């Protein structure tokens, strides 16, 4: 034991020693309170979209790619074929690829600014560059995106329950909404590993379904052009390709800007290729008659087996997506707006349900609305605005 420690212990046994020890403890408490107050002043209230998080301090390039791709794979892909059926094969592919390049560019903007701030989250970047208005813009964008997504998921599951159990869509939607919203209220959040595992199960199912459609594909079914549905396919594509919120975590996990940049490029190319094949397969098999939830069309080709497989995918995809997005928005309401849990929960899940039961029940069109508003603002407009403001400041 060091001499100083022995001396200090002896001092404590005397009245002077106890006074000295109490004085040191009081000084330490004052320093701790001062540090905590400084942290509170400097902190930026965070915003979340995805429940997938990087749990390890250091990750490999393969793990980084898996996290980014897993964030993108979800219920959004189910609406792509229907949105594509509104415009035709060539315009749909052109929009999907164009959106991919735009989202990749804004993803690289997020990476650049996050890396420059030591791995800061998107809300922190927005608030530091754009001020408090930037933080609130991000919150409003995520709120609109979450509202639209939850509304679409309620509509989608109403259709799934009706197909599987022979009840009305409204009754099915109500049952799903009650059960899933209770899970959200109690905060039974899946871990990042569970979310990723589910994403890859769905990815395997998407590939299997695509192979089932190949024998029924006819090129003539997709060779038409109707530009009236451009906004719809654009919104769904934006919704399906959003992974910007986990880019800062991936950067911190890899610890290298250049490595993260390379991984990010592939993280957009791979899902886009998969989405394109999935979308084209349904469009060539069903043409203008593609269902809103694409996989439900399998029942027309494979009967009872097609009905089970065609509803199993949206059952998994929509349930996990609903819980993930609703939990993230509930957390935003609690942490950013400082609302209590019951109010934060109600603000998250009740308004979309009211709109659904009022008559808005189109799965793919609501996804398009979410993509064209909230996702576009959070993943495209705000990153570009941050980039422009930074350029102007430098000049």
pLDDT digits (tens, 9 = 90+) for 253-269: 899 999 999 999 999 99
* Structure token pair of residue 295: 């996989």
Let me know: does 109 contact 387? Beta carbons within 8 Å: yes
Q: How far is 178 from 155, CA to CA, in rounded Å? A: 13
Sign of CA dihedral 127, 130, 132, 137: negative
Closest CA to 170 of 178, 159, 179: 159
Let me know: does 221 contact 286? Beta carbons within 8 Å: yes
Q: How far is 129 from 273, CA to CA, in rounded Å? A: 34
Let me know: does 373 contact 350? Beta carbons within 8 Å: no
Cβ atoms < 10 Å from Cβ of 290? 25
pLDDT at 204: 81
Closest CA to 325 of 386, 384, 253, 378: 378
Q: How far is 334 from 343, CA to CA, in rounded Å? A: 9
* Structure token pair of residue 112: 């650049």
Half-sphere exposure of 245 (CA within 13 A, CB side): 23
pLDDT at 45: 58
pLDDT at 350: 96
Please enumerate, as own/partner, the contacts of 129-133 that have beta carbons within 8 Å and a separation of 24 or more: 129/386, 129/389, 129/390, 130/382, 130/385, 130/386, 130/389
pLDDT at 317: 83
* Structure token pair of residue 229: 């549905």
- In sequence order, what are the residues at sequence separation of 6 or more whose Cβ sits closer than 8 angstroms to the Cβ of residue 138? 47, 122, 123, 126, 127, 378, 382
Sign of CA dihedral 354, 358, 364, 366: negative
Mean pLDDT per 10-residue segment, the chain (395 residues): 45 49 58 48 54 64 84 84 94 97 96 92 87 88 91 93 92 94 76 63 82 90 93 94 88 92 95 92 93 89 88 86 84 84 94 94 89 92 94 87
DSSP 225-277: --GGGHHHHHHHHHHHT--GGGHHHHHHHH--HHHHHHHHHHHHHHHHHHHHH
pLDDT at 5: 45
Per-residue exposure over 204-225, b if at least 16 CB sit within 10 Å of its own CB, e if not:
ebbeebbebbeebbeeebbeee
pLDDT at 33: 53
Q: How far is 326 from 332, CA to CA, in rounded Å? A: 10
pLDDT at 148: 92
pLDDT at 63: 83
Phi, psi values for residue 187, rounded to 5°: 70, 35
What's the chain's average pLDDT? 84
Let me know: does 99 contact 233? Beta carbons within 8 Å: no
Q: How far is 159 from 82, CA to CA, in rounded Å? A: 15
Let me know: does 370 contact 89? Beta carbons within 8 Å: no
pLDDT at 83: 94
pLDDT at 316: 84
């Amino acid at each position: 034991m060091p001499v100083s420690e022995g001396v200090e212990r002896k001092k404590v046994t005397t009245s002077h020693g106890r006074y000295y020890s109490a004085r040191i403890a009081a000084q330490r408490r004052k320093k701790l309170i001062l540090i905590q107050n400084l942290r509170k002043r400097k902190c930026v209230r965070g915003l979340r979209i995805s429940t997938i998080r990087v749990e390890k301090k250091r990750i490999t390039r393969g793990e980084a790619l898996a996290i980014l791709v897993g964030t993108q794979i979800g219920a959004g892909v189910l609406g792509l074929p229907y949105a594509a059926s509104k415009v035709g094969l060539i315009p749909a592919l052109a929009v999907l690829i164009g959106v991919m390049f735009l989202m990749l560019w804004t993803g690289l903007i997020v990476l650049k600014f996050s890396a420059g701030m030591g791995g800061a989250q998107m809300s922190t970047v927005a608030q530091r560059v754009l001020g408090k208005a930037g933080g609130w813009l991000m919150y409003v964008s995520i709120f609109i995106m979450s509202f639209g997504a939850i509304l679409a998921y309620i509509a989608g599951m109403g259709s799934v329950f009706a197909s599987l159990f022979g009840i009305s869509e409204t009754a099915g939607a109500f049952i799903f909404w009650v059960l899933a919203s209770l899970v959200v209220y109690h905060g039974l959040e899946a871990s990042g590993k569970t979310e990723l595992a589910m994403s890859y199960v769905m990815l395997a199912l998407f590939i299997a379904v695509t192979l089932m459609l190949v024998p029924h594909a006819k090129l003539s079914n997709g060779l038409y052009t109707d530009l009236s549905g451009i906004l719809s396919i654009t919104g769904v594509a934006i919704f399906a390709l959003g992974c910007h919120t986990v880019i800062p975590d991936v950067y911190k996990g890899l610890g290298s800007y250049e490595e993260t940049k390379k991984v990010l490029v592939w993280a957009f190319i791979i899902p886009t290729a998969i989405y394109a094949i999935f979308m084209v397969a349904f469009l060539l098999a069903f043409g203008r008659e593609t269902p809103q939830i694409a996989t439900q069309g399998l029942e027309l080709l494979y009967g009872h087996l097609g009905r089970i497989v065609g509803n199993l995918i949206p059952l998994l995809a929509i349930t996990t997506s609903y819980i993930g997005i609703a939990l993230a928005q509930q957390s935003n309401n609690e942490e950013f707006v400082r609302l209590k849990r019951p109010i934060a929960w109600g603000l998250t899940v009740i308004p979309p349900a009211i709109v659904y039961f009022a008559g808005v029940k189109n799965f793919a069109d609501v996804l398009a609305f979410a993509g064209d508003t909230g996702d576009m603002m959070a993943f495209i407009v705000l990153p570009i605005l941050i980039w422009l403001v930074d350029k102007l400041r430098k000049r």
